[in-house]
Structure 1
């Protein structure tokens, strides 16, 4: 299930934010620097005007950066001076030691941070730090090299309907920044005893293998997640939440924190489901969203029927009407009410089933067009469809239904000649999944 929000509301009951979180974030960036020789310190204040805490406390933060002294070969230098003068390479060891000491810990702190999602994301995807820095320094309007677009697509950053390079870069950097600062954001914006979804849960083979084999996505660690039950919709074990200005994150039921399976809830299935929503965030098409999300479910029944609702509002409405329909059978209710209450449930169910059958028919038709008509392998066809908009899937369905002679080569040629919101996505699709068509635009 996917939910969109315009903003997050700071927790008014929280105590004043501790600068320990700032130290931890800097340490994460320094660990990545040591491993990759790439400085991502710009992430601390990138787009800080959209960040409640860093914007409102900017003066306090810069004062701390100036006052925090690092012991550099017998002399004291402010952290701000070292960072602003690009002295990081020569002084990274001293900065790390000073920060660890200020946190009152030792090697244990560094060991813990090594296992954090941000550090693991940048370590497993070895080229990502260099790419993120390159994207940040890219001038507005300057194109992104094809090999970088392909690499990002493999990580799950699908181009979608993005209209400019700047818009695409902004989404990626905000998402990386969210992973870096998720601990700060949790303290500022979330209430209750919530815990992060550990990297091990994202890296479980039952999550990574289906993503790679079915949709061509691997090492997808750029979506942070929490275990928290209080604000989950009644009918859901997990949701993907997209917040304007912050990014996308996952929320799962807290009962799944220590158990992979709790009654009908399966942690691996839910993580997979919500990652699919997050990866298609920029595609901006919802007709087949739940079909893709449930396509990797091990349950045949859920795979067949669960896409009957789209979005949290439809799920909640269906749930409430179902409850009313069931409770109306109790002896305390008159028989006429029991009969009448079934009508909305029956109507909604029939409409949902009709729409579900139609969407499955459209998706299967598009799949058959690629596999039967164009002799594309089923695994490659799934990867292609996952990156298409609703209109493009319907177009392939209509070609299959009409038994059209239009081939995929002709479609690719037309798509590559369209605007940047279409041709960049199709260019990546061709390079990754249709390599024999790489020169099709020249035909």
Structure 2
């Protein structure tokens, strides 16, 4: 199959001003695939089973919240988020950093987010948290970086552009609500092979809790053995601390393996190999798993045909990346 230096998008007027985007949403229809593709390119992905009406409603809600955020930042020296984090217009990250982060996600997943509000948080982030994305009920996301990045490009093992790109992946892919492989896509923009491979080990806060709990329990048991009950056997607790890490690694291995198989299938059958990761980024984990099990071009074509006939999201995927396939 031939390679391509860029992912082809059907011809469409570029969406830039907010008022133009608003008017475009009002006239949006399922037949207007060029506009749907352009919205996808701007980071407005269609949800897992989302239909056009709910998609339009969500986009309007995002724009309304974005306008409200802009007004609040203009009127208030400090605007409060979540009751504990204050941001102001002066805390907004530089355009240079924003462009660098956008170029990373665009090269990896073929989107350049229209909504990419990111700020330095003076306080309120956890001690070990470099950044996070806060997604409001409307779907609008705001990215927060710890204040350490304001005057330096790196903090611990992370660069500012990597963290912004990481959180952009989360905010853009949020409509899919797809936890099993969410962190995998976000960590895939990292320059570190270790983070790219192990990033998806921790899918929820419970994973970290269940990893640390046996360690703290062992510390307590060891304290009791040393100072109170010298006959206490700690072997079981030493074994216990390795059980959950082993589970995380095994689960992560199978997830990573499923992704690699699906990627190979796509690279084998689609017109442009570079489109494989952008396509999978827009898939649910169940769909990625299904793609990984396809055995030949007939099954692949049947899968794409079925999905594109039943889901608006897949009609856009097909129009953007698979025009020459069927």
Which TM-score applies when normalising by structure 2?
0.80
For the pair 1:428 / 2:311, whether they are aligned, the reply is no
Task: Report the RMSD for the aligned CA atoms in angstroms.
Answer: 3.0
Spell out the pairing of 1:89-108 with structure 2 (5 A cutoff).
none
Q: Classify 1:383/1:231 alpha carbon distance in 2 versus 1 (closer, same or farther; 3 Å).
A: same
Higher radius of gyration, 1 or 2: 1
Q: Could you tell me which of 347, 350, 356 is aligned with 2:243?
A: 347
| Corresponding residue of 2:59 | 172
For the pair 1:371 / 2:264, whether they are aligned, the reply is no
State the aligned residue count: 302
| Corresponding residue of 2:24 | 134
- Please list the CA deviations of residues 174-200 of structure 1 after superposition, one character each: whole Å capped at 9, or x if unmatched: 223333332527625444554543252
Spell out the pairing of 1:231-246 with structure 2 (5 A cutoff).
231-233=124-126, 235-245=128-138
Indicate if the aligned counterparts of 1:202 and 1:221 stay in contact, CA closer than 8 A. no
Name the CA distance, whole Å, in 2 between partners of 1:212 and 1:148. 18
Q: Could you tell me which of 278, 303, 316 is aligned with 1:383?
A: 278
Unaligned runs of 5+ in 1: 1-123
Q: Secondary structure at the match of 1:157?
A: coil
Indicate if the aligned counterparts of 1:235 and 1:315 stay in contact, CA closer than 8 A. no
Unaligned runs of 5+ in 2: 1-13
| Corresponding residue of 1:36 | none
| Corresponding residue of 1:251 | 144
Q: CA deviation at 1:281?
A: 1.1
Name the CA distance, whole Å, in 2 between partners of 1:272 and 1:334. 51
For the pair 1:217 / 2:107, whether they are aligned, the reply is no
Q: Could you tell me which of 340, 344, 362 is aligned with 2:258?
A: 362
Which TM-score applies when normalising by structure 1?
0.61
Q: Secondary structure at the match of 1:240?
A: strand
Q: CA deviation at 1:407?
A: 4.3
Name the CA distance, whole Å, in 2 between partners of 1:392 and 1:213. 23
| Corresponding residue of 1:267 | 160
- Please list the CA deviations of residues 100-151 of structure 1 after superposition, one character each: whole Å capped at 9, or x if unmatched: xxxxxxxxxxxxxxxxxxxxxxxx953653232232x459xx6462111011
Name the CA distance, whole Å, in 2 between partners of 1:312 and 1:144. 41
